[in-house]
Structure 1
Amino acid sequence: MRDALPAWWSGRGTPTTAPAETPSAPAAADGGEAHLRLARESLRELLDDTQVPPEVRARLAEDYATLERMLERLEGGRLHIAVFGRVSVGKSALLNALLGEQRFATSPLHGETVTATAADWQPDPSLPGVQRLQDGGVSLIDTPGIDEVGGEGRERLAREVAASADLVLFVCEGDLTDTELSALRGLADGTRPIVLAFNKTDRYTASERALLLDALERRTAGLVRPEHIVPCAAAPAERTVIRIDAAGRESESRQRPPVDIEDLRETLWDILASEGKTVSALNAGLFAGRFCERLAREVLELRRSLAETVVRRYSLGKGIAVALNPLPLADLAAVFADVAMIVQLGRVYGLPVSRGEAGGLMKTIAAQLALLLGAAYAGDLLSSLLKGLTFGLSTIVTASAQGAVAWYGTYVVGRAAERYFAQGRSWGEGGPKRVVQEILASLDRDSLLAEARADIMARLRGGT
């Protein structure tokens, strides 16, 4: 464990701020270039931080891989659009229509899409604002449907992909179901634009379409901007057309109406051109912030585990030393082993202390123990260990009882010192008395004493 963490960590083991600020507005005067630069710097700082313990890096390997992919996206200037919606609303067909080619599998059967797949989408240079897009291009990502029976894993994948996208294309085919509305609420967290594509409009009359669009606008108020609710028809169904010639003869044929996705195409490119860079930077910054929180928890958990190991090691050493060469119980708090333990705990938390500082901290804790338990607390502990035993005890049993008292005292001191360092060299609002009080209340004294005595006796009998 290293003695110190980066400057953006506090002594409590949680990040005080993210490495770089995240943008708070969906657009910027420079088209988002400054936001992108800050986001890239943030991700590089997290990835290149050599002070993160190797154990923590191993635990967060998947998160680090996501960071790397996100940084590659930012550096390459690529934007991601994820399509999201129920099974068979025409998600894959809509993406194919936008691409102008059959890249995504479609089928009349439910659940054709079972994994997330992507394709490059080249901008139309004639559309306004396209020249402001990054050079890296745009990826369209198809995801599984969210309501397929037995498809919980695929639905989870769809949500994860949508959550990391720069823009979500939510596809429906009419008024929203409860499932769709719930999913939309989960995605509308304000970090990325959402376009609601009302697909299969060829099924409805003009008046029916108007009613449905009005209903969609009302139901998605606060979730989707009204101008981002766009009717379209990605794969219009064939219909029967009857023609009557000049002689009055009828002829019947099957025809497919033209694809209707131009309004949707323009809406998507307009959003990407005006907000794409900033949204991409914002998503990266938010992910970096969440990553910092996870990293802090993992580091803190590692420190606590190391601290527990240190405290138990010194407690056992103290217990064996007293068992082999008993000291007056009143003098146990002054044993140098406690000071060495506190010095080591400071190193575990990246807050080194001198032996003098550690000695003062140890005396503060011991004083609170005496106040809370009384001057005869060590004698009471020893009495509880010897209770029920007859005279004629072997030396090893008596020695282990005395050693267990020393073990317990050092353990309480260590736990209190660990809390002090975990709180950034602070006792908190209640002071040292409150900390020691809480620790004593949290410990099962009898079981700890029994554990200590058993361990000490095993060591003594083993000749160690």
Structure 2
Amino acid sequence: MSVNLQRPILVGGVGLSVSLWLLQSFHDSVGQVGEFGMLGAVALGAGLWLFGKKTSKNLDLSLTAAPVDRETVEKAIAKAQTLIKLLETESENHASLPQLRQRLTQLTPELDRQKIQIAVTGGRSVGKTKLVQVLESSWLHQQPQALSLKETPALFVGTDTDVAAETIAREMAFSSDLLLFVTAGDLTDTEFQILQQLKAANQRVMLVFNKQDQYLPTERASVLQQLRQRMAGRLAAEDVVAIASHPSPLKVRQHQADASVQEWMEEQTPDLTVLTERLSSIIAQEERQLVWATTIREAAALKAEVKAALNQVRRDRALPIIEQYQWIAAAAAFANPVPALDLLATAAISAQVVSDLGAIYQQKFSLQQAQAAAKTLGSLMLKLGLVELSTQAIGSILKGNAFTYVAGGAVQGVSAAYLTRLAGLSLIEYFQEQEVSETTGQAFNLERLGQKLQAVFQQNQRTSFLQGFVKQVVGRLIPEAPQPQPTGSETAATAV
């Protein structure tokens, strides 16, 4: 799939930069006005970022799993299908397409699946196996619905050899219609985090406090109350139950008429009544919703996998565009070594990057929106200190070569290329998370964009990378110049 990329912002922005540079050659005051106007715009953008910043939203983990209807699931399947068609359009021979299409065809029949899949999970030695055995023997086959019951491998194993088994356990847990999460006492932080993840995925969960027989009666009530309080707002109180799937034998002592005493160990009957009654109620009342919730999770997982493949295809097309603009930015800044005007040229090129990358990722932006987005990127870079840090690091590397360091706008040229690259890579990371935009006018999430910008900067600030990047840019700007050599401290940093 080809995207027709036009560049009105690039032509206008670079042209304006050169025009102002020529005017400055005749009258310094023009340059001063231009610098004030540009810095004022950037400061305004930084102010908007600070005052418009919102607290990051936490995952909505409130109460029980949100009810799901058939129409909602069908829409989720349709979204996955739309993404697969996009992948077919943009990369018709993509290796994953056959497998993705097959998974898509399996989703619609799942809507009418009759068998309810129940999974039992938890850490080691919490009584999962015995619980499954007792449920199978005394409850499962008495239910009017078709049910399957399976035990997952243990969670929280903590050893490399069992990592694969734990991965399987998590997959089984997330793919079940109803999950029994078993613990043998109060929740650990790790158990609580897993329960949060399950709730975030809209998984129907019951928390089962097993082995209550190992506690004194007052302790049992206390542990159960603690569990319900810990899960308040995430699980209904009736979905947190206490059982004893395999009670310890009870010592019985009998005094005989002749004053002798007989003692023996008496096996105890499993105590699952509260659990089985709640299970039967959930399955009777929520049978279809359980199946649909699982199907929508599968549709979401398929959509995420397709999106990842599509993002890689688009990234492969976007990187050459970013490289093209970083060389243009370097040449413009090198030929016009005035900091305020360099910032203007770089901002103009960044606006074109917004427009071109938006076209690849199907994010629609008008000319004005692309320009505003470029100013926002510049504001974020200044606010986060990336411009100053980058320029200092690049200047330090260039000092190793007097020829390039005194060659006019070498620092500005390399910095412009580097900042344009950061802007482009940040936009890629940001756009990869977005849905396809059908209309123009979609606003940037400034907080999220700032997070992406910081992450990309951290990934691209290694001394070894910067040295290689500076060498590459200088080689393009001044082909005959000797290449900068790293100083002793930089060599040591690279070795580290």
Q: Please state whether the residue corresponding to 1:139 is helix, strand or coil.
A: strand
The reply on whether 1:89 has 2:126 as its aligned counterpart is yes
Equivalent position of 2:371 in the other structure: 431
The reply on whether 1:421 has 2:359 as its aligned counterpart is yes
Quote the offset at 1:199 in angstroms.
0.9
- What is the alpha-carbon distance in structure 1 between the residues aligned to residue 474 and residue 352 of structure 2? 16
Write out aligned runs for 1:354-373 (5 A): none
Unpaired segments of 5 or more residues in structure 2?
A: 5-63, 337-348, 379-415, 422-468, 480-496
Equivalent position of 2:167 in the other structure: 156
Identity %: 25
Q: What do residues 24-57 of structure 1 show as CA deviations (whole Å, max 9, x unaligned)?
A: 97447xxx55556656666677678883555785
The number of residue pairs the alignment matches comes to: 321
The reply on whether 1:169 has 2:206 as its aligned counterpart is no
The reply on whether 1:447 has 2:472 as its aligned counterpart is yes
Structure 1 residues 242 and 206, CA, compared in 2 at 3 Å: closer, same or farther?
same
The reply on whether 1:189 has 2:237 as its aligned counterpart is no
Q: What do residues 206-263 of structure 1 show as CA deviations (whole Å, max 9, x unaligned)?
A: 3332222222222222232111111111112223222345555533222210111132
- What is the alpha-carbon distance in structure 1 between the residues aligned to residue 351 and residue 220 of structure 2? 73
Q: 1:191·1:279 contact (CA, 8 Å) conserved in 2?
A: no
Quote the offset at 1:172 in angstroms.
1.3
Structure 1 residues 309 and 218, CA, compared in 2 at 3 Å: closer, same or farther?
closer
Larger Rg: 1
Equivalent position of 1:144 in the other structure: 153
Q: 1:240·1:252 contact (CA, 8 Å) conserved in 2?
A: yes
- What is the alpha-carbon distance in structure 2 between the residues aligned to residue 91 and residue 201 of structure 1? 14
Quote the offset at 1:425 in angstroms.
6.2
- What is the alpha-carbon distance in structure 2 between the residues aligned to residue 48 and residue 72 of structure 1? 20
TM-score normalised by L of structure 1: 0.54
Q: Please state whether the residue corresponding to 2:269 is helix, strand or coil.
A: coil
Equivalent position of 1:79 in the other structure: 116
- What is the alpha-carbon distance in structure 2 between the residues aligned to residue 242 and residue 252 of structure 1? 4
Q: Which has the higher helix share?
A: 2
Write out aligned runs for 1:106-121 (5 A): 121=140
Q: What do residues 348-404 of structure 1 show as CA deviations (whole Å, max 9, x unaligned)?
A: xxxxxxxxxxxxxxxxxx9x999x779x88xxxxxxxxxxxxxxxxxxxxxxxxxxx
Partner of residue 298 from structure 1, selected from 306, 309, 317:
309
Write out aligned runs for 1:6-21 (5 A): none
Structure 1 residues 413 and 87, CA, compared in 2 at 3 Å: closer, same or farther?
closer
Structure 1 residues 369 and 309, CA, compared in 2 at 3 Å: closer, same or farther?
closer
- What is the alpha-carbon distance in structure 2 between the residues aligned to residue 187 and residue 280 of structure 1? 16
Q: Please state whether the residue corresponding to 1:174 is helix, strand or coil.
A: coil
Quote the offset at 1:171 in angstroms.
0.8
Q: What do residues 2-23 of structure 1 show as CA deviations (whole Å, max 9, x unaligned)?
A: 889xxxxxxxxxxxxxxxxxxx
CA RMSD of aligned residues (A): 4.9
Q: Please state whether the residue corresponding to 1:80 is helix, strand or coil.
A: strand
The reply on whether 1:220 has 2:231 as its aligned counterpart is yes
Q: What do residues 177-199 of structure 1 show as CA deviations (whole Å, max 9, x unaligned)?
A: 33333333333326122211111
The reply on whether 1:124 has 2:135 as its aligned counterpart is no
Q: 1:56·1:298 contact (CA, 8 Å) conserved in 2?
A: no
- What is the alpha-carbon distance in structure 2 between the residues aligned to residue 97 and residue 413 of structure 1? 65
- What is the alpha-carbon distance in structure 1 between the residues aligned to residue 93 and residue 276 of structure 2? 44
Q: What do residues 308-335 of structure 1 show as CA deviations (whole Å, max 9, x unaligned)?
A: 569999xxxxxxxxxxxxxxxxxxxxxx
Structure 1 residues 63 and 79, CA, compared in 2 at 3 Å: closer, same or farther?
farther
- What is the alpha-carbon distance in structure 2 between the residues aligned to residue 419 and residue 271 of structure 1? 48
Equivalent position of 2:281 in the other structure: 270
Q: Please state whether the residue corresponding to 1:241 is helix, strand or coil.
A: strand
Q: Please state whether the residue corresponding to 2:245 is helix, strand or coil.
A: coil
Q: 1:311·1:414 contact (CA, 8 Å) conserved in 2?
A: no
Quote the offset at 1:270 in angstroms.
1.5
Quote the offset at 1:170 in angstroms.
1.1
Equivalent position of 2:447 in the other structure: none
| Amino acid across the alignment from 1:100 | S
Equivalent position of 1:117 in the other structure: none
Q: Please state whether the residue corresponding to 1:234 is helix, strand or coil.
A: coil
Structure 1 residues 195 and 416, CA, compared in 2 at 3 Å: closer, same or farther?
closer
Structure 1 residues 276 and 41, CA, compared in 2 at 3 Å: closer, same or farther?
farther
Q: 1:243·1:251 contact (CA, 8 Å) conserved in 2?
A: yes
Equivalent position of 1:104 in the other structure: none
Quote the offset at 1:175 in angstroms.
2.3
- What is the alpha-carbon distance in structure 1 between the residues aligned to residue 315 and residue 85 of structure 2? 25
Equivalent position of 2:409 in the other structure: none
- What is the alpha-carbon distance in structure 2 between the residues aligned to residue 52 and residue 39 of structure 1? 20
- What is the alpha-carbon distance in structure 1 between the residues aligned to residue 295 and residue 169 of structure 2? 19
Structure 1 residues 414 and 430, CA, compared in 2 at 3 Å: closer, same or farther?
closer
Quote the offset at 1:412 in angstroms.
11
TM-score normalised by L of structure 2: 0.51
Q: 2:111·2:291 contact (CA, 8 Å) conserved in 1?
A: yes
- What is the alpha-carbon distance in structure 2 between the residues aligned to residue 433 and residue 195 of structure 1? 46
Structure 1 residues 204 and 40, CA, compared in 2 at 3 Å: closer, same or farther?
same
- What is the alpha-carbon distance in structure 1 between the residues aligned to residue 78 and residue 370 of structure 2? 40
- What is the alpha-carbon distance in structure 2 between the residues aligned to residue 233 and residue 178 of structure 1? 23
Q: 2:118·2:149 contact (CA, 8 Å) conserved in 1?
A: yes
- What is the alpha-carbon distance in structure 1 between the residues aligned to residue 367 and residue 142 of structure 2? 59
| Amino acid across the alignment from 1:124 | Q
- What is the alpha-carbon distance in structure 1 between the residues aligned to residue 367 and residue 156 of structure 2? 51
Structure 1 residues 205 and 285, CA, compared in 2 at 3 Å: closer, same or farther?
same
Unpaired segments of 5 or more residues in structure 1?
A: 5-23, 102-119, 131-136, 314-365, 378-410, 455-464
Equivalent position of 2:483 in the other structure: none
